[in-house]
Amino acid sequence: MKGLLLRLSALDADAATAVRVIAHFEALMSAGSDAVSLVRSTAGLAQCAAGLERTGGRRVRFGPGGAALPGEPERVSGSAFFGDTDSGPGGRVWLERPGAPGPFDELVLEWMAIAARMLDGRRRAAEPPHAADPALVELVLSEREAVEDRARALRLLGLVPELPLRVVAVALAGAGPAGAPPSPGSGPGAGPAPDIGVETVALLGRSGLPGSVRIARVGPLGAVLVQRPDGDPASPAEELRAAAGARPAGPDAPGRSAGRAVRSVRAGVGGLTEALDAGVSWQQARVALRFAAAGRPEEAVTDHDDLGPVALLAEIPAERLRARPEVRALAELAAGEGGGTGIAALAAFCRTGSLRQAAAELHLHHSSVAARLAHVEETLGWRLRDPRDRFRAHLALYAWRLSGTE
């Protein structure tokens, strides 16, 4: 390519420039660059702002100096579409030249669209989760370290400082609310104690999350950095719930042994934040984790975004929650004979608001669920068909779960 450029530059400067443009994008595609690298390098090549936006996705814009640009473009001097394909929904690329389009803008846009379409085909392939250096992950999650140090740590982890991410906190299922029954595999003779790092890698491996996933152990928790392709804001909660409900395929798979249920985990998903503010998402993930309950996938993974103002309950000290009569009553119910099944029925009914939907979720006949709810009503003095009592019951369940965690 160098030799061709030298020969062309001696004959025709325009031809040499055209080849240089093509070589630029071919190098980007060969290197497996992401959308951020594509837009930033195109802006530098064209010496004007450039942008990319996928259908229903996040907009990415960079100036010629390499700085990310927020908001919508003020003036688009030229654009190109990369249409819907089997590998992605397509989208648009553009240049934002203040004056008239440059002589090679059309070629730049054509090849930028080609590169974007190729990236679109790659971005949906799930990258295996990587076990990361815990020191780097802790540096990213710290709010005390300098921004420059956090940005460097993100790059060393293979993440993009300019794209948003979410943090997921993972804990072993046995660390549940006070009075809750122990999780499977936690009793005597259950075998070696599980390792949260191994369990977190197994959970994320089953989830098949697209994008960059970095896992490390931080204290007693698994910390997971999830950066979706091109900053896609979608929460990973649904994929994690599906993975939490999955079971290893064979008798020799990790976590499975004769006569013992598969160990499970609980997870809290933090909100979407800028990568340099990952500490905020980490705090939210730990709050969401306190609301997660061992057992069914629907409750084993809690998304902080879904909690809304209920998340404020986590600010109440655990001892004050334990002092509430409703929380004490739930703890006594859970500790009694058949208490675990009653709690499960109550949680499913509060979540769905329907006896039949609760029964379908629990894979039970609706009459069995009705009998369990009747026992709960008799024990706690609630009338669950009354919306006010059901609201109180739901809040009491949240408070009971929080009362066993700090």
**Matching CATH number, 132-314, of 3.90.550, 1.10.357, 3.30.70, 3.40.50:** 3.30.70
Side-chain-facing half-sphere of 142: CA atoms under 13 Å: 16
* Average pLDDT, integer, range 12-34: 74
pLDDT greater than 60 at residue 147: yes
Which of 256, 258, 244 minimizes the C-alpha distance to 303? 244
Which of 335, 332, 330 minimizes the C-alpha distance to 347? 330
Long-range contacts of 192-195 (CB under 8 A, 24+ apart): 194/255, 194/263
Please report the sign of the dihedral spanned by the C-alpha atoms of residue 230, residue 36, residue 84, residue 80: positive
Q: Where residue 169 falls among pLDDT bands split at 50, 70, 90?
A: very high
CA distances from 376 to 111, 334, 360 (A): 65, 10, 19
What are the DSSP calls for 96-151, one per residue?
Answer: E-SSSPPTTHHHHHHHHHHHHHHHHHHHTSBPPPEEPPHHHHHHHH-SSS-HHHHH
pLDDT at 100: 87
Render pLDDT for 54-112 as a digit per residue (tens, 0 to 9).
Answer: 876 778 899 999 888 988 898 899 999 986 544 456 789 999 998 888 888 988 998 99
pLDDT greater than 50 at residue 380: yes
Side-chain-facing half-sphere of 112: CA atoms under 13 Å: 31
Percentage with pLDDT > 90 across the chain: 32
Q: Which two tokens stand for residue 1?
A: 């390519």
pLDDT at 258: 32
The answer to which of 30-44, 173-187, 275-289, 375-389 has the lowest mean pLDDT is: 173-187
CB burial string 110-127: b at 16+ within 10 A, e below: ebbbbbbbbbbeebeeee
pLDDT at 149: 94
Q: Cβ–Cβ contacts within 10 Å for residue 31, how many?
A: 9
pLDDT greater than 80 at residue 190: no
pLDDT at 2: 46
Q: What is the separation of C-alpha 386 from the centre of its chain, rounded to a whole number of angstroms?
A: 36
Render pLDDT for 322-343 as a digit per residue (tens, 0 to 9).
Answer: 999 888 888 888 888 777 788 8
pLDDT greater than 50 at residue 256: no
Q: Which two tokens stand for residue 262?
A: 């598969």
| β-pair type (212-218, 301-303) | unpaired
Q: Is 395 helix (H, G, I), strand (E, B) or coil?
A: helix
Q: Where residue 152 falls among pLDDT bands split at 50, 70, 90?
A: very high
* Average pLDDT, integer, range 253-279: 70
Burial class (CB in 10 A: 0-12, 13-18, 19+), 142: middle
Is the Cβ–Cβ distance between 225 and 278 less than 8 Å? yes
pLDDT at 137: 95
* Average pLDDT, integer, range 20-48: 84
* Average pLDDT, integer, range 171-189: 49
pLDDT at 231: 72
Percentage with pLDDT > 70 across the chain: 81
* Average pLDDT, integer, range 261-272: 79
Distance CA(37)–CA(50), nearest Å, equals: 11
Q: Which two tokens stand for residue 16?
A: 């040499």
Q: Is 90 helix (H, G, I), strand (E, B) or coil?
A: coil
* Average pLDDT, integer, range 193-215: 83
pLDDT at 88: 53
Distance CA(318)–CA(309), nearest Å, equals: 18
pLDDT greater than 70 at residue 259: no
pLDDT greater than 50 at residue 183: no
* Average pLDDT, integer, range 114-135: 72
pLDDT greater than 70 at residue 127: no
Look over the chain and give the mean of its residue pLDDT values, rounded to a whole number: 81
Distance CA(346)–CA(128), nearest Å, equals: 37
Q: Where residue 9 falls among pLDDT bands split at 50, 70, 90?
A: very low
* Average pLDDT, integer, range 227-256: 70
**Record: fold of 2-123:** Beta-Lactamase (3.30.450)
pLDDT at 123: 52
Which of 307, 312, 315 minimizes the C-alpha distance to 237? 307
Distance CA(34)–CA(288), nearest Å, equals: 31
pLDDT at 173: 76
215 vs 249: which has the higher pLDDT: 215
Q: How big is the chain, counted in residues?
A: 406
pLDDT at 290: 93
* Average pLDDT, integer, range 199-226: 88
pLDDT at 55: 78
CB burial string 193-228: b at 16+ within 10 A, e below: ebebbebbbbbbbbbebbbbbbbbbbeebbbbbbbb
232 vs 155: which has the higher pLDDT: 155
pLDDT at 104: 86
* Average pLDDT, integer, range 386-403: 89
pLDDT greater than 60 at residue 202: yes
